[in-house]
A and B are shown apart, each in its own frame.
Chain A
Amino acid sequence: MLAPKSWILEHVDVPEGTSTDELTARLTLTGLKLEAIESAGADISGPLVVGRVLTKEPEPQKNGKTINWCTVDVGDANGTGEPQGIVCGAHNFEPGDLVVVVLPGGVLPGGFEISARKTYGHVSAGMICSARELGLGEDHDGIIVLPADAGEPGQDVRGILGLDEEVIELEVNPDRAYALSIRGIAREVAVSVPGATGFRDPALRDTPPADDQGHPVRLEDTTGCPVFVARTVSGFDPTAPTPDFIAQRITAAGMRPISLAVDVTNYVMLETGRPIHGYDADKVQGAIVVRRASEGEQLTTLDGTRRTLTAEDLVVCDDSGPIGLGGVMGGESTEISATTTRVLVESAHWDAVSMFRTGRRHKITSEAGKRNERGVDPTICEAAADRVVELLTTYGGASAEPGVTVVGEAPAMPTVTMALDLPARVSGLPIEPATTVAYLEAVGCTVSVDGETLTATPPPWRPDVTDPYDLVEEVVRLVGYDTIPSVLPAAPGGRGLTRAQQLRRRIGRTLAGAGWVEVVDFPFVGEADLDALGLEADDPRRTVLRLSNPLSSEAPAMTTTLLPALLRTAGRNVGLGASSVAVFETATVTLPRSSEAAPILPVDRRPTDAELDALVKALPDQPLHLGLVAAGEADPAGWWGPGRPVEWSDAVDAVRAVADALGLELDVRPATLAPWHPGRCAELRLGDALVGHAGELHPRVCTTFGLPARSVAAEVDLDVLIQHAVHLRPAPTFSTFPAAKEDVALVVEESVEAAAVEAALREGAGELLESIRLFDVYRSEQLGEGRKSLAFALRFRAPDRTLTDEDTTAAREAAVALAAERTGAVQRA
């Protein structure tokens, strides 16, 4: 809300010398936050004074224009007291007129510096200003001519033009709709600024009594429209200009002056908070009826939009049908125009929920709608209408027609009961009952106290005050939030981070320690992303949860995999010149599982466990995934020698390192799954539980995402890993007897997996085997096509003795024998 300070102070007195900063600081502390203080004249500097035109010599120019060579009395403002010679291109003034002069040294909006300069054969020492040049809006016709009694030549003109007006911009929360008016802000100043007195309510005025002579109105839906006041003025001069103070104030409040009739309704809305609608009375046919629209009914609103209405919309109708979307926007057929001489003034109260729904349904936001949907004082309809009539008669030459229509009545405010000590108990401040009563009365409540119980009836402009805690807020904000002490509550002994939380941190640190960089991506995905991964048509990752209102039609769903975003991120880094990229992300993915709705449960009690269960079951599965992508160098080349490019094993090992950090050892099996290379993809399992996949990306995927060939990726379900994480690991014991080492090289068919050979060796070697490690894979012509040699280093140790050569040989031979039996391995000579 933009509120000119002078307008506020028209309705409340603050102590002499209260600065704008002090005033707004108090408002901020009591709930109307200062956004900005703006002043129209802020970008004007230097001498800007009243001048009296002494002479005006028209001088036609060769270019066809006529300029006026003027002398202007600017008093002592020019330092000499002599008349100032100024060239002026405008003609709307005569000698003797008071005008606005900016003297050399002055600066106008836009950084326009004024100096004495030679032009049209004269030295023009300054400028006679138009409204536009001063940033005061559009020119009507030329320069500003001040009223004859505006001031003395040489006098600073800022005060006269309202250029010294400070406009206070306040943030108004949805519960304080009353502060969307000068009335509300002035009231707020009266209760929150120390020493402020004399609040003068602009909506408190004597209004003529209702009669049955006014325009007939019938309310068919008194819930939607409980009060409707209609007044009519006739003999209105549609060409009458809007007085400067109204134009200046509504401009300052952020609205555009349009015409006197429209400007007056806006002015009264800003002043009282009550939106007013004006109709061209001659275009209204017959009685006004307020009702709900029939489904499909049509109305063309003021903005020229033809709207199809629903049965929930409230409409104002005449004999022709709907002529306005009640409380939201008027209709085109009865719009006030340049020929309107009779104005029908509507000042009606509308149901806030209805306004909210209609505004949202028809996507209309307006100053009127903003107020009506938040709640307006229903008791000031007559006063507001009367104020509009007053202004139209005063400035528009109109006269009020005798009839005054008032239909319906303002709904009564509910009473609220609370324990007298509640403000103290909630705030932790020692608030006395007398203080509570005083502040509630200050904000307009009617209060009574019975023992320990307080009953308050909120004022009609506070529809938001419905609960005891609402009363508490009113009291505490006026006592002052800044007086609330700071007391740290003593929580009971906590359990610290959960194990899952600790493990997630451990996973992040493990990967970062291994050279991977964490990134955060948006979880949105589109079909093209899934196509780019090369997913089969029936891949479950194509079953996505779609958004009704995605930001981008290219990513309209919640992703089922972290890989598309990670691949894009990796590709972007490669594009930026990174020679080595290794990124990871941990985030939940969304896996739809139910088509049931999540019920809207009651709020006046705790839902039953069955109700909550239905709620939770309607949600998709959201497992926590880890995704990672690496491209380029795994280890860089350097003075130490060549680097090593990333390969499939880097992805598998990163996941193994994560599992190892959780005390887990993964089972690795070959698999075929997009987006991986069909021959270089590992499926990672923990027994029966699938953990995820890792390996080299399919070459087409690398190309699609702008990644170098042989880039790698992994995606695993961290929830599975974390569930299986080993909690209590037993302490190991070690033999201190010497170890015996044996190497064996086994030749197997190419299709035999190293893990199978290793498992056979391990089992065959028996319990003397301490460790086994594959240290070489060798292929040669000598071995023959389709065969490979796997070299293992075996280490034996006994817990209780030094092993003999016979022990070791026997164990090794047993190992080789089992490997031969299981995998067809032949020991290499």
Chain B
Amino acid sequence: MSGPNSEYDPVEVTPLQAEHVAAARDEAIAAIAAAADLEALKQVRIAHTGDRSPLALANREIGALPPQARKEAGQRIGQARGAVNQALAARQEVLEAEHEERMLVEETVDVTLPTDRRRRGGRHPITLQSELIADIFVAMGWEIAEGPVVEAEWLNFDALNLGPDHPARTMQDTFWTEPAERHVVLRTQTSPVQARTMLTRTPPIYVACPGRVFRTDEYDATHSPMFHQVEGLVVDEGITMAHLKGSLDHLASQLFGAGIDTRFRPSYFPFTEPSAEVDVRCFVCRGVDADSCRTCRGEGWIEWGGCGVVNPRVLVACGVDPERYSGFAFGMGIDRSFMFRHNLEDLRPLFEGDVRFSAAFGTEI
């Protein structure tokens, strides 16, 4: 702390002379300008604004001056220090900017390096296809029904108008569980879910049933002992084949693209009467110049599934009044739909668990 000092000779103090102050200021500003980096600037700051700096020392002398001179000298020193601080701040900003720019350049990385530090997962494409189909039905206000794969023979066959001597039973080569007298099978179709739905609910019924089904087919490029089906069932008042056509056309357009519709051909299923095969319009060639089309093999149409009006015998066995209600049902292969939708000719990759296969589809299809 400096202040009036009795021993001090109250004469003009040299460091406070204007030219000295100006010189100290100019010297400081020159040093600031000369500072090449932030470290140098720090030294300059200590040298020219620190406690031992000329201007700081000069400032100490102010107290010794008479009031008038003190005021003038104070202003002089203050202006000089202001100019120095301003120069320092400006230089600081410039050097910081330079420093940052240099740092950023130095920190450049090769952003093309691999970044896969975590495994990528994926869901099975058949799961995804099933969910996509379920979503289409849910969007129509339908519900998704489910049932067990190990099923009662009565629900898989008899309730569906497939009595024990029905020739169509041999069309579905069935896995039987031991002993056969227990009448328990691996379901050959998801239709028992339809029967279960009718047995446990009252119409209106609008359900789709996706799931695994089993047939004793040897495993090859186009057959598998296990595959996936989706069936639909509607039971309501006044249901007609036109509603069946409308539902399948909608499913086809949602799954394969706008404008893709279906074609019915008379067929035979014990569960339905009248029955029809459903072909879906080829979504690749749309039937135009089909001859060279690999997807539909020149047909313009792709066999997709079966459908029909629920046989009143089935309604009776499942406790639905056939005088009041009518219904329709349909079924198609999910694997098969996936295969032609995604151009897969051999179904075996679906069941062989090569992680590269599922991973290729990620979590959406």
Which A positions have Cβ atoms within 8 angstroms of B? 28-31, 33, 173-176, 353, 356-357, 360, 373-374, 425-429, 467-470, 472-473, 476-477, 481-482, 484-498, 501, 505, 508-509, 511-524, 545-551, 558, 569, 572-573, 576, 578, 580-583, 587-588, 590, 595-607, 612, 615-616, 618-620, 622, 634-636, 638-640
Contacts and interface: CB of A to CB of B under 8 A. Distances in A.
B178 A546 contact: yes
A494 B218 contact: no
Nearest to A31: B266
Given A173-B268, A473-B273, A514-B121, A485 B245 contact: yes
Contacts of A512: 121-123, 362-363
Interface stretch (B2-10, B25-33, B96-104, B353-361): B353-361
Contacts of B313: 467, 603
B73 interface: no
19 contacts: A28-B265, A173-B268, A176-B268, A360-B170, A470-B273, A477-B266, A486-B261, A491-B206, A494-B206, A515-B119, A515-B121, A517-B359, A518-B121, A519-B353, A548-B180, A588-B149, A595-B182, A603-B159, A619-B151
B311 A618 contact: no
The 9 closest A-B pairs by CB, nearest first: A606-B319, A428-B242, A428-B240, A31-B266, A515-B119, A569-B353, A473-B274, A491-B141, A173-B268
A600 B355 CA distance: 43
A521 B353 contact: yes
Interface of B: 113-114, 116-124, 126-127, 131, 134, 138, 140-144, 146, 148-155, 158-159, 161, 163-165, 167-168, 170-171, 175-184, 186, 199, 204, 206, 212, 216, 218-219, 225-226, 234, 236, 239-243, 245-247, 249-250, 261, 263-268, 273-277, 309, 311-313, 316-319, 326, 350-355, 358-359, 362-363
B142 A494 contact: yes
B30 to A, nearest CB: 49
A615 B243 contact: no
A470 B354 CA distance: 48
Contacts of B350: 520
A524 B214 CA distance: 11
B247 A489 contact: yes
Of the listed residues A468, A489, A618, the one surrounded by the most CB atoms of chain B closer than 10 A to its CB is: A489
Contacts of A426: 240-241, 274, 309, 326
Given A497-B138, A545-B177, 14 more contacts: A176-B268, A374-B167, A427-B240, A477-B266, A481-B263, A486-B261, A489-B234, A491-B204, A515-B120, A518-B121, A547-B186, A573-B355, A602-B317, A603-B163
B354 A485 contact: no
Contacts of A546: 177-178
Contacts of B352: 569, 572
Contacts of B266: 29-31, 473, 477, 481
A29 B126 CA distance: 32
B177 A501 contact: no
Nearest to A374: B167
Nearest to A32: B266
Contact of A572 (B114, B176, B239, B353): B353
Given A30-B266, A492-B141, A601-B158, A548 B274 contact: no
A33 B265 contact: yes
Contacts of B121: 511-518, 582
B261 A519 contact: no
A498 B144 contact: yes
Contact of B268 (A174, A501, A639): A174
A376 to B, nearest CB: 13
A597 B274 contact: no
A593 B158 CA distance: 24
Contacts of B113: 639
B268 A175 contact: yes
B144 A501 contact: yes
A604 B316 contact: yes
A467 B150 contact: no
A520 B126 contact: yes
A360 B318 CA distance: 29
A618 B152 contact: yes
B151 A600 contact: no
B267 A598 contact: no
Nearest to A630: B119
Contacts of A374: 167
Nearest to A520: B124
A572 B356 CA distance: 12
B355 A517 contact: yes
A174 B240 contact: no
A486 B249 contact: yes
Q: Could you say which of B146, B242, B263 has the most chain A C-beta atoms within 10 Å of its C-beta? A: B242
A310 to B, nearest CB: 15
A31 B265 contact: yes
Nearest to A570: B353
Contacts of B277: 33
Nearest to A644: B117
B24 to A, nearest CB: 48
Contact of B142 (A491, A551, A616): A491
B120 A551 contact: no
A488 B286 CA distance: 22
A581 B354 CA distance: 10
Nearest to A624: B146
A467 B355 contact: no
A534 to B, nearest CB: 22
A501 B176 CA distance: 29
Nearest to A475: B274
B152 A548 contact: no
B177 A548 contact: yes
A498 B298 CA distance: 42
A226 B311 CA distance: 30
B118 A515 contact: yes
A374 B268 CA distance: 13
Nearest to B149: A588
Contact of A517 (B122, B225, B264): B122
A476 B149 CA distance: 35
A638 B117 contact: yes
The winner among A174, A469, A588, A635 for most chain B CB atoms within 10 A is A469
Given A491-B140, A522-B225, A548-B179, A481 B355 contact: no
B240 to A, nearest CB: 3
Contacts of B362: 512
A572 B250 CA distance: 41
Given A487-B246, A501-B144, A509-B363, A522 B351 contact: yes
